[in-house]
A and B are shown apart, each in its own frame.
Chain A
């Protein structure tokens, strides 16, 4: 295996399509470095096998596979720190890997290097139900945590489509259908343990701090939340938990137009109703969901709604929202009352990506977009976007966390067809620029990854980008932390 390290480096290293200017050359993964990694981690935990490297070079996005030179499997904080010290000494890039379910190509090793697959670090370190928090390692996914705490009456509400690693969710500042009520990772991470590029271990909110709020020092936690692995390796996250609601009921409402559906969601928020979930699906998305998830809803613009709280609160909310919906031409609510019916509905919503790629145009890739705009601009931006997509020859269902002003399009594209790719890129860019023009962002929850670096520059301007570069340079002067993502130093 050691001898084949060199062979693999020369013959099989992939590079991403957009060239990355070197900030001084990186070191290579020589036999001796491989041996040192094996000494730290044990022989079975360092691999250069091609299938394993390819598996770690891609996520769920359309971005091409960029395999690392090696994949390592640390089992402890000390091992992660030692790997970091070694790679730092040798100037070898490091890419942290959770569940590989990202949507922006964040795990691609565009400069080669070592991928740290953190799945072996999978303990729920502690759960403090009286204080409403849990501390987890990177191998713990959101469903695993919720399974673990199911007896406590608490749950972790952030629910992106995939069953993602919670530490990975912190790295991308993930969010989900529950954000309208519970917020995103930014509001729900209390503390992070991070291994920096040089191997030092940082506790972002203080060594042992689990206080609900604090004014102590810089808000380092939110510096790392959303940094997409470019500032350090998250090895532990302390997250907020919330009480499982007493009552919950979901409903589906069909609308005669996209505008009617989106207006309804905006009206609900402006009426101050604490709705738990409000998700928009266009007619293409509902069609795909009916096929894939075996639902049976009318094929037209739709809202999936959920109301939670005490029994009285739920009754109040459903009545108020019902009136707003009907006022906008919405249909009678189709209820999902039992636990099973609600679970089926939200599972279908979470499966949107898979429903799209498998039922609408099997065999091609799905390019996801992710803009987020102020609520007051949502109707305008979404209806304009829908017009663009309807006019395009490509199939592109739309879905949206309309409660946050955030929506996604899944542009189904054949990556080998140059015209289709050009059309897709143009559509995605137009969407992002339109959002930015009204005070929105090019990425509400997926991150910048490899594909939105130019849009980030548009959004932040030169001073913003410079400040980010300065911070990056002070924490990772060698640019070995997940190079080629978010921005170039």
Chain B
């Protein structure tokens, strides 16, 4: 059977190593001048797609990113790692700040229809909002099976089946999933490769197609509104006590016993 057409989501987020700071207006975090990179779980999803292509299970990898113009950098990295072409849905400013997983899932659903994708690989969650919703919502919109928190993925010999291991609270769950399907990648699925200089050069020639939500017929209006964003409370100094009696007295003082 011919190879799978794979769609991979690549979200541009604040880099995992950055110390995030709350904005003075307490409505979000500082993003100006802060290093951004591809969401680490999306890097893992992309790596899995590239490995499927190397095994000739996948025939083509299409990467998608939704956000401001700088998302094109993220897409170029994805193309350098091994994707074939990219779609950038441009959303910026306040629209982007308020963008929710449901809107992104709707966009992905439109692209799946248009491109006739067989497999959507997403990171299990983004490290900025930690929503862990896009994959699940997309599967719902498409009425496709979903395999989330995947730590191992193999295409079975027969027609259109994936053998999957999921990381769940109780341990590992092995399931079989019919294609087409949505899969979300967990940390231990693989260790992503780095882009190399020659591949970065080649990636400059791969196409990035621009789209926008209006033309796609996708309503990106938010359903939630952020009330405030705050730092966690500063940890207060502890105090030492001399003996158990003093400990009990102090605990009573603060109403803990």
Residues of A within 8 A of B80 (CB): 153
**Is the C-beta of B197 less than 8 angstroms from some C-beta in chain A?**
yes
CB distance from A388 to the nearest CB of B (A): 41
Residues of A within 8 A of B38 (CB): 151
Residues of A within 8 A of B200 (CB): 152-153
Q: For the complex, give the distance between the alpha carbons of A150 and B38 in Å.
A: 11
Residues of B within 8 A of A151 (CB): 37-38, 73, 77, 195
Contact with A along B80-115 (1 / 0, CB 8 A): 100000000000000000000000000000000000
**Is the C-beta of A144 less than 8 angstroms from some C-beta in chain B?**
yes
- Is A148 touching B17 in the complex (CB atoms < 8 A)? yes
Give the total number of A-B pairs whose CB atoms are below 8 A apart: 42
User: Which of A144, A148, A153, A340 has a CB less than 8 Å from the CB of B194?
Assistant: A153
Q: Tell me the A237-259 residues at the B interface (CB within 8 Å).
A: 243-246
Q: Which residue of A lies closest to B200 (CB)?
A: A153
**Is the C-beta of A421 less than 8 angstroms from some C-beta in chain B?**
no
Q: For the complex, give the distance between the alpha carbons of A245 and B197 in Å.
A: 8
Q: Which residue of A lies closest to B17 (CB)?
A: A147
Residues in chain B within 8 A of chain A (CB atoms):
15-17, 35, 37-38, 73, 77, 80, 190-200
Q: For the complex, give the distance between the alpha carbons of A278 and B35 in Å.
A: 36
Q: Which residue of A lies closest to B43 (CB)?
A: A150
CB distance from A127 to the nearest CB of B (A): 10
Chain A CB within 10 Å — which of B16, B73, B77 has the most? B77
A153 in contact with B197 given A147-B17, A148-B17, A340-B190 (CB within 8 Å): yes
- Is B195 touching A339 in the complex (CB atoms < 8 A)? no
Residues of B within 8 A of A339 (CB): 190-193
- Is A153 touching B35 in the complex (CB atoms < 8 A)? no
A343 in contact with B196 given A144-B17, A151-B37, A151-B77 (CB within 8 Å): no
User: Which of A148, A154, A343 has a CB less than 8 Å from the CB of B197?
Assistant: A154
CB distance from B190 to the nearest CB of A (A): 7
Can you list 7 A-B contacts with CB-CB less than 8 angstroms, sorted by A residue number?
Answer: A148-B17, A148-B35, A243-B196, A244-B194, A244-B196, A339-B192, A343-B191
Chain A CB within 10 Å — which of B16, B17, B77, B80 has the most? B17
Q: For the complex, give the distance between the alpha carbons of A55 and B77 in Å.
A: 41
Q: For the complex, give the distance between the alpha carbons of A151 and B195 in Å.
A: 6
CB distance from B195 to the nearest CB of A (A): 5
Q: In terms of DSSP, what is the predominant structure of the interface of chain A? A: mixed
**Is the C-beta of A155 less than 8 angstroms from some C-beta in chain B?**
yes
Residues in chain A within 8 A of chain B (CB atoms):
144, 147-148, 150-155, 243-246, 339-340, 343
Q: In terms of DSSP, what is the predominant structure of the interface of chain B? A: loop
Q: For the complex, give the distance between the alpha carbons of A151 and B199 in Å.
A: 11
User: Which of A144, A150, A246, A340 has a CB less than 8 Å from the CB of B198?
Assistant: A246
- Is A244 touching B197 in the complex (CB atoms < 8 A)? yes
Residues of B within 8 A of A343 (CB): 191
Q: Which residue of B lies closest to A132 (CB)?
A: B197
Q: For the complex, give the distance between the alpha carbons of A147 and B196 in Å.
A: 14
CB distance from A314 to the nearest CB of B (A): 13
- Is A243 touching B195 in the complex (CB atoms < 8 A)? no
Residues of B within 8 A of A245 (CB): 196
Chain B CB within 10 Å — which of A147, A150, A246 has the most? A150
Q: Which residue of A lies closest to B199 (CB)?
A: A153
Residues of B within 8 A of A340 (CB): 190-191
Q: For the complex, give the distance between the alpha carbons of A154 and B195 in Å.
A: 8
Q: For the complex, give the distance between the alpha carbons of A245 and B195 in Å.
A: 9
Residues of A within 8 A of B198 (CB): 246
CB distance from A294 to the nearest CB of B (A): 15
- Is A243 touching B191 in the complex (CB atoms < 8 A)? no
CB distance from A376 to the nearest CB of B (A): 35
Q: For the complex, give the distance between the alpha carbons of A388 and B35 in Å.
A: 53
Q: For the complex, give the distance between the alpha carbons of A340 and B193 in Å.
A: 10
Q: For the complex, give the distance between the alpha carbons of A155 and B38 in Å.
A: 18
CB distance from B169 to the nearest CB of A (A): 25
Residues of A within 8 A of B35 (CB): 148
- Is B194 touching A155 in the complex (CB atoms < 8 A)? yes
- Is A246 touching B196 in the complex (CB atoms < 8 A)? yes
Chain B CB within 10 Å — which of A144, A155, A244, A245 has the most? A244
Q: For the complex, give the distance between the alpha carbons of A150 and B195 in Å.
A: 7
Q: For the complex, give the distance between the alpha carbons of A148 and B200 in Å.
A: 16
Q: For the complex, give the distance between the alpha carbons of A147 and B73 in Å.
A: 17
Q: Which residue of A lies closest to B47 (CB)?
A: A339
